[in-house]
Amino acid sequence: MQSQGKIACKIVVASQHYPPDPSTTAAIMAEIACRLAAEHEVVVLSGSPGSLPASQTGRGKPRVVAVKNRMAGKAALMRRGVSELLFVLRTFVALIRELKAGDVVLTVTAPFMLPYAVAAAARLRGARSALILHDLFPDVLVMAGLLKPGSIVARAMRAANALMFRALNAVITIGRDAERPLLSYSGMTRNKIRFIPNWATLVAAPRPVTPDNPFRQALSARFIVGLSGNLGFTHDPEIVFEAARLLKDEADIHFLLSGWGIGFERLKQLQAASNLPNVSFVVRVEDSELEAFLAAANLWIIPYRRDVAGVSVPSRFYNLLAVGRPVVLVSEPQAEAALTVVENGLGWVVTPGRADQLAEAIRAASRSDDSAMAARAVKAAAKFDRATAMNAYAALIDELLRNPELREQR
C-alpha cells in the first residue's frame, strides 16, 4: 500500500530465485520484497514455480508474476546456460510490460545475464535500476578456471559490464572488497555504490556443544569440523578433503559435511575413492534442522579458491557466527569475510590452495581454549541484523524514487 506522501511509483523485483525455492538468494530477495511492499506497490518477476508460503501472500505483500523458467542442474552447463538465457529474455519482455517512467527495478546477479536485461529494460522505459552484487562476472568464472582472463568471452563480458554499470543507478555490494573492482569500470562511479551486508537468519545467541545433538550422536570424535551449504565454482572442495587426509590419524578430529553443488559432488567422489575414516556426509539439511546442524560442529570451514576478494561473499558466514562458532576461512586476507574474522577475532584465515595450513588451523582450533571466541562470534553476528539491512534497502529505494543520481555517501 502507498503511505501518504510516498511517490506513487512501483518497485519491480526481478529474480530467478524466489520462494518456494529454498536457496539463500530466494530468501534474501523475498525479505527485501516484503519489506519494500510495506510502503510501495511491489511486483516480483519470479523464475521459481510453485505456491508461495502463507507468509509471502496477502494484503501488503508483493504481487508475484511467474516467468517461465526451466532450471537445469548446475553440472549440466550447456542446458543450464540455454535455460538461463531463455529466462532472461522472458524477464526482459515482462519488464518492458511492467515498467513505467519513475519505477525502480531491483535485481541480483543470478543468473549473471539478468542484470544486463534489467539495466536495458529500465533505460528503455525511463525507470531506475539497482543491482545486488552477489558475484562479479566474469571474475567468478576466471577464478573457477572456466574462462581465461584475456579470452574473447571475458573481454566481451567486461565490455558489457561497462555499459551495464553506466546504465545502472545503484549497485549494492555485500562486501567492502567489491568497491575496488567495481571502480575499475569506466561506467561506474562511487556515488552509485551502497554497502549493505547480508544478515544472519538465526537469532544470535551462544549454542553449547552438547553430546545429545542429533548430528553428533553417531560420531565419537571430540572435535567436529563442519562444512555446509552450496559449493559452487568459487569454492575449493579439494583443500577440505586434503586437510582431512592430513588429519586422518588424529582420532579426536572428525569432518561432518552437508551441502549441494558441484563441489559436494567432487567431495563425494574423493571420499568414494579414499574412504577416509574421519569424514562423514549428511544429506542436505532442511531449514528446520539448520540451527541444530550448525550447533553440532566445534568449527566451520568456508573454502574459497584464489582471487575471491571482491568477487564473492559467503552468506552462510553470518549464521555460523550467530550460533557462536569460530570459522576457518580459506581466502585472501583482504576479502570481506576475512576482514570480519580478523577484525573481530573470530577464527583463522588460510591461504587458498594450502591444505597444510588448513590442517594446522584445524589442529590449532581443536587445542584452543579461547572460550571468549564464541561470545565474540555472537556479538559480531548481531551487527549483521535483518532489520538494519531492510531499512538500508528501503532508504536506497526511496532515494532512487526521489532522485536517480545518488549522492556519494560519506
Report percent pLDDT > 70 for the chain: 96
Mean pLDDT of the chain: 91
11-199+385-402 and 223-383: identical CATH topology: yes
Q: pLDDT exceeding 90 applies to what percent of the chain?
A: 70
Tens digit of pLDDT for each residue in 22-47?
888 898 999 999 999 999 999 999 99
Question: Coil, helix or strand for 350?
Answer: strand
Predicted local distance difference test score (pLDDT) of residue 74: 55
**SS3 category, 56:** helix
Rounded to 10°, the helix 372-383/336-344 angle is: 130
The per-residue pLDDT for range 72-96, each reduced to its tens digit, is: 655 566 777 788 999 999 999 999 9
Residues 6+ apart with CB under 8 A from 354: 239
pLDDT tens-digit series, residues 246-277: 999 999 999 999 988 889 999 999 999 999 99
Average pLDDT over residues 231-260: 94
| Side chain identity at residue 33, one-letter code | A
- pLDDT value at position 268? 95
How far apart (Å, rounded) are the C-alpha atoms in residues 290 and 119? 36
Cell of 299: 568449527
Residue 300 has pLDDT above 50, yes or no: yes
Closest CA to 23 of 50, 41, 43: 50
Residue 314 has a pLDDT of: 75
Rounded-to-integer distance, Cα 332 and Cα 313, Å: 12
Band (pLDDT 50/70/90 cuts) for residue 313 is confident
So where are the chain's domains? 11-199+385-402, 223-383
Give the H/E segment covering residue 226: strand 223-230
β pairing state of 170-173 and 63-66: unpaired
- Of the listed ranges 1-15, 110-124, 226-240, 373-387, the least confidently predicted one is 1-15
pLDDT digit string, tens, across residues 204-224:
999 999 989 999 998 999 999
Enter the DSSP assignment of 382. Answer: H
So what's the pLDDT on residue 77? 64
Fold of domain 223-383: Rossmann fold (3.40.50)
- Give yes or no for residue 5 having a pLDDT over 70: no
- The predicted model gives 190-209 an average pLDDT of 92
Q: Helices in 168-305 by DSSP H: which ranges?
A: 179-183, 237-246, 262-274, 287-296
Say if residues 67 and 8 touch (Cβ distance below 8 Å). no
CA distance 341 to 356: 20
Query: Strand (E) positions, 163-268?
Result: 170-173, 193-195, 223-230, 253-260
* pLDDT of 1: 43
pTM value is 0.84
Query: What does the DSSP assignment read for 102-153?
Result: T-EEEEESSSTTHHHHHHHHHHHHT-EEEEEESB-TTHHHHHTTSS-TTSHH
pLDDT in tens, 142-188: 887 888 989 999 999 999 999 999 999 999 999 888 999 999 998 89
Which residues, including other chains, have CB under 8 Å from residue 338's CB and lie 6 or more apart? 309, 329, 331, 332, 349
- Fold for domain 11-199+385-402? Rossmann fold (3.40.50)
Handedness of CA 308, 309, 313, 316 (dihedral sign): positive
Please state, as a whole number, how many other Cβ atoms lie within 10 Å of the Cβ of residue 50.
Answer: 11
